[in-house]
Amino acid sequence: MTNKEIKIAYLEYQSIDELEAKDKELAQAAVEATELAYAPYSKFNVGAAVLFEDGVIIKGSNQENAAYPSGLCAERTALFYASASRPDKAMTAIAIAASQDGQLCETPATPCGACRQVMAQYQLKSGLPMMVLLVGAHKIWKFEKIDDLLPLIFDSI
């Protein structure tokens, strides 16, 4: 028997202003996208912004439904829209933000398992690391690749 360990490294910033210009733009796009959420049930507005290798940013927000499971998270709304509209372009980063009562949440919202799996798929498709920015009001976490949020990614098929 061998003991194994997986370490996850990420950066923490105190403010969006600490980010380098390109990351700041993506983080701001995610914050803007929270205003486009349709979340009448949870009132938890999530925004996501996907960056392509050519600099284009596509936004998405959570879309809820009276039949709850029919709704979709912001991340997958953005990722599917991004892939459906620009299938031949590589996605290189995603930023995520959440707000309640018009206020950006203090602690960054962390993506659900299903969204992490979908991010993993597009990272695999592009062959490039997909950077993740989780944006809170006074705490921003930066992960270099999806593997840091989803270790031991399933990609065997």
| Residue ranges binding ligand THU (CB under 6 A) | 39, 42, 44, 46, 62, 64, 71, 73-75, 109, 111-112, 115
- Name the minimum Å distance from CB 2 to ligand THU: 34
CB 11 within 8 A of CB 37: no
Whole-number Å distance between alpha carbons of 59 and 114 = 18
Which is closer to ligand THU, CB of 18 or CB of 107?
107
CB 111 within 8 A of CB 119: yes
Q: Catalytic residues, which ones?
A: 75
Which is closer to ligand THU, CB of 56 or CB of 112?
112
Length in residues, the chain: 157
At 85, the amino acid letter reads S
Helix (H) or strand (E) holding 28: helix 21-34
- Name the minimum Å distance from CB 32 to ligand THU: 15
What does the CA dihedral 109, 110, 116, 119 come to, rounded to 10 degrees? 50
Whole-number Å distance between alpha carbons of 103 and 112 = 21
- Name the minimum Å distance from CB 109 to ligand THU: 6
- Name the minimum Å distance from CB 72 to ligand THU: 8
Whole-number Å distance between alpha carbons of 148 and 111 = 12
